[in-house]
């Protein structure tokens, strides 16, 4: 079993230890298409856990990565590095 799978299993937990949504050292970089430009770092070392029943708000200025985080949880985007889990399963984009 890989380290990523071990982390996902650990986050699944049960009861009070369960994690509904987990970000473990997540990075996301976007590269412009058809250009020779540097990647734009949207998220850098994001780490947090949301337990079942918790209410969480992502707040920040435009362009800070709020939608990128939500897209990762929904499986619409993948992290460049790190792990995003939803009820213990890896979110896949």
In 3D space, the residue among 92, 60, 72 whose CA is nearest the CA of residue 23 turns out to be: 72
Q: Residue 82 burial (CB < 10 Å; 0-12/13-18/19+)?
A: buried
Element (H, E) at 7: helix 3-12
- At 9-64, the pLDDT tens digits run 555 555 657 999 999 999 999 987 776 778 889 999 999 999 999 999 999 999 99
Domain positions in the chain are 3-90
Q: Residue 8 burial (CB < 10 Å; 0-12/13-18/19+)?
A: buried
pTM of the predicted protein model = 0.77
- At 19-32, the pLDDT tens digits run 999 999 999 999 87
Question: According to CATH, what is the number of the domain 3-90?
Answer: 3.40.50.300
């Amino acid at each position: 079993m890989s380290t990523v799978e071990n982390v996902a299993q650990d986050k699944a937990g049960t009861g009070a230890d369960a994690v509904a949504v987990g970000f473990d050292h997540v990075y996301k970089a976007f590269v412009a298409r058809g250009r020779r430009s540097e990647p734009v770092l949207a998220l850098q070392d994001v780490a947090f856990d949301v337990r079942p029943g918790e209410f969480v708000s992502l707040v920040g200025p435009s362009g800070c990565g709020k939608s990128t985080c939500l897209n990762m949880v929904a499986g619409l985007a993948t992290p460049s590095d790190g792990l995003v889990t939803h009820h213990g399963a890896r979110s896949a984009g």
